[in-house]
């Protein structure tokens, strides 16, 4: 530690004009005071690794800036189709999930995930349509689920999800004032309620805001700015909390500038979602193209009933290019990136099912590995009944897919 502090003083002095060889420099550390002459110094040693360099804004209560916090998140998963369901008081279970328990969250942790994204709806949990006040019962329930994850030492992201589209579908000048008013009202309550949580809890402004042009992007940027300003002014640890900002349509191309300003440096992250449509989400063939069941260089030209079901428009090279772009646009500038959602839907392919499962595992492996290599933190989209985890029985139900994820985690290495 002393060698590091000396080296730091050495560099600062050089920046201020250099050392005089016979000048005596005094350093106080660990309660002791000692002096030295430059002519007496024979070597300077920097001990430790780059992750031990002090933060830009060191704080005992929130020690990690965004880059350092991202480095701590190895593999994330969503508790999807649960807290974000727009079903009022029955939201948590109305899309097929059991009530989230500590045991369910324990299962995520024991399966290799150390971060959880909890999508949340808030608008339809207001006390009345005439006020933005969130019901205390809902706030308390969200807290319970967050606390399950905190108890397991997991990193947690809570957001304002689709939430009936009050923000996501209204990135327009006509709606700007009303949406900013609700954005401020909801985040003031959420941020204040969770203000004393440490850096394990992150806030995310929105989910998948619909933006088609520069004008709409400017409006979205104002919504993010309202989010950042409101959180920063809400007290507790929120002055240093890391905040997650969603790109237009959460697309990987990050076509529009929607990043707000922040009074504290180095505490913002950028979020995108990744679903190559014909492979991940498409449920039936269309006149413009067909569903694809297979992805990647080892799964090309696979025909089923005379139709080529291999994805050729989106390949490993596409992932390499798009993720490298995000690294240069954000990560290299001190803004880590969250891949907040990615997944390929289940398919029932009979005799081709095993090949499908192996291919999907490879898809997950590749996204996670290349993502991590480019400073992108992966969060799988997981839903009840069809995801990695069987929430009813608290066990892994798709080991092949999980193995692919974990292989990607082991092979990928963050550049920070």
Residue 120 sits in a domain whose CATH number is 3.20.20.80
List of the chain residues with pLDDT < 50:
1-58
Assign residue 370 a region (left: φ > 0; alpha: ψ between -120 and 50; beta: otherwise): alpha
Give Cα separations from 168 to 69, 206, 225, 364 (angstroms).
27, 8, 15, 27
In whole angstroms, give the CA distance from residue 288 to residue 275.
18
Neighbours of 11 (CB within 10 A): 12
| Same domain (yes/no): 174, 230 | yes
Whether residues 176 and 276 fall in one domain: yes
Residues 30 and 107 in one domain: no
Q: Do 43 and 77 belong to one domain?
A: no
In a domain, 416, yes or no: no
Q: Which of 155, 353, 333, 326 is nearest to 242 (CA)?
A: 155
147 in the same domain as 20: no
Q: Same domain for 98 and 14?
A: no
Find out whether 159 and 201 touch, Cβ atoms under 8 Å.
Answer: no
* Residue 377 · residue 338 · CB < 8 Å: yes
Split into its structural domains, the chain has a count of 2
Q: Are residues 7 and 84 in the same domain?
A: no
Q: What is the pLDDT of residue 26?
A: 40
Residues 279 and 320 in one domain: yes
Same domain, 64 and 7: no
**What is the pLDDT, as a whole number, of residue 164?**
94
Whether residue 266 lies inside any domain: the answer is yes
* Cα angle: 122, vertex 128, 129; to 5 degrees: 80
* CB-CB contact of 26 with 35 (8 Å): yes
pLDDT digits (tens, 9 = 90+) for 277-288: 999 999 999 999
Residue 52 lies in a domain: no
Per-residue pLDDT, 312 = 97
Q: Do 75 and 16 reside in the same domain of the chain?
A: no
- Residue pair 381/341 in contact (Cβ under 8 Å)? The answer is yes
Report d(CA 382, CA 105) in Å as an integer: 13
73 with 185, same domain?
Answer: yes
Task: Assess contact for 371 and 323: CB atoms under 8 A.
Answer: yes
Question: Structural domain of residue 122, as residue ranges?
Answer: 59-411
Task: Please tell me the predicted confidence (pLDDT) of residue 248.
Answer: 98
Distance CA 195, CA 234 (A): 7
């Amino acid at each position: 530690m002393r060698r590091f502090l000396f080296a730091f003083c050495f560099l600062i002095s050089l920046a201020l004009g250099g050392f005089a060889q016979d000048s005596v420099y005094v350093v106080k550390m660990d309660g002791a005071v000692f002096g030295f002459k430059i002519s007496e110094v024979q070597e300077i040693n920097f001990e430790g690794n780059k992750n031990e360099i002090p933060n830009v804004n060191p704080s005992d209560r929130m020690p990690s800036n965004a880059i350092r916090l991202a480095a701590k998140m190895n593999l994330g998963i969503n508790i999807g189709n649960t807290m974000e369901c727009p079903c009022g008081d029955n939201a948590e279970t109305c899309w097929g999930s059991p009530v989230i328990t500590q045991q369910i969250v324990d299962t995520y942790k024991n399966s290799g995930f150390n971060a959880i994204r909890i999508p949340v709806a808030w608008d339809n949990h207001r006390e009345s349509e005439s006020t933005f006040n969130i019901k205390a019962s809902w706030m308390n329930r969200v807290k319970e689920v967050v606390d399950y994850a905190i108890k397991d030492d997991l990193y947690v992201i809570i957001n304002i999800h689709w939430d009936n589209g009050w923000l996501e579908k209204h990135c327009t000048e006509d709606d700007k004032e009303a949406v900013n008013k609700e954005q401020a009202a909801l985040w003031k309550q959420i941020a204040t309620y969770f203000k004393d949580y440490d850096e394990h809890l992150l806030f995310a402004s929105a989910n998948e805001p619909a933006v088609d042009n520069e004008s709409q992007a400017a409006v979205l940027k104002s919504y993010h700015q309202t989010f950042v300003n409101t959180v920063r002014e809400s007290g507790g640890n929120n002055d240093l909390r890391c905040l997650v900002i969603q790109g237009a349509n959460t697309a990987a191309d990050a076509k529009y500038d929607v990043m707000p300003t922040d009074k504290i440096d180095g505490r913002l992250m950028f979020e995108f979602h990744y679903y190559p449509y014909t492979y991940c989400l498409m449920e039936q063939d269309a006149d413009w193209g067909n569903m694809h069941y297979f992805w990647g260089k080892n799964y090309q030209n696979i025909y089923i009933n005379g139709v080529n079901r291999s994805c050729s428009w989106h390949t490993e090279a596409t992932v390499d290019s798009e993720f490298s772009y995000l690294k240069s646009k954000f990560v290299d500038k001190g803004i880590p990136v969250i891949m907040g959602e990615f997944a390929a839907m289940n398919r029932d392919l009979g005799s081709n099912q095993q090949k499908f499962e192996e291919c999907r595992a490879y898809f997950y492996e590749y996204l996670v590995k290349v993502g991590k290599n480019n400073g992108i933190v992966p969060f799988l989209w997981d839903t009840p009944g069809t995801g990695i985890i069987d929430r009813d029985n608290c066990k892994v139900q798709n080991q092949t897919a999980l193995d692919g994820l974990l292989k990607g985690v082991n092979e990928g290495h963050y550049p920070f």
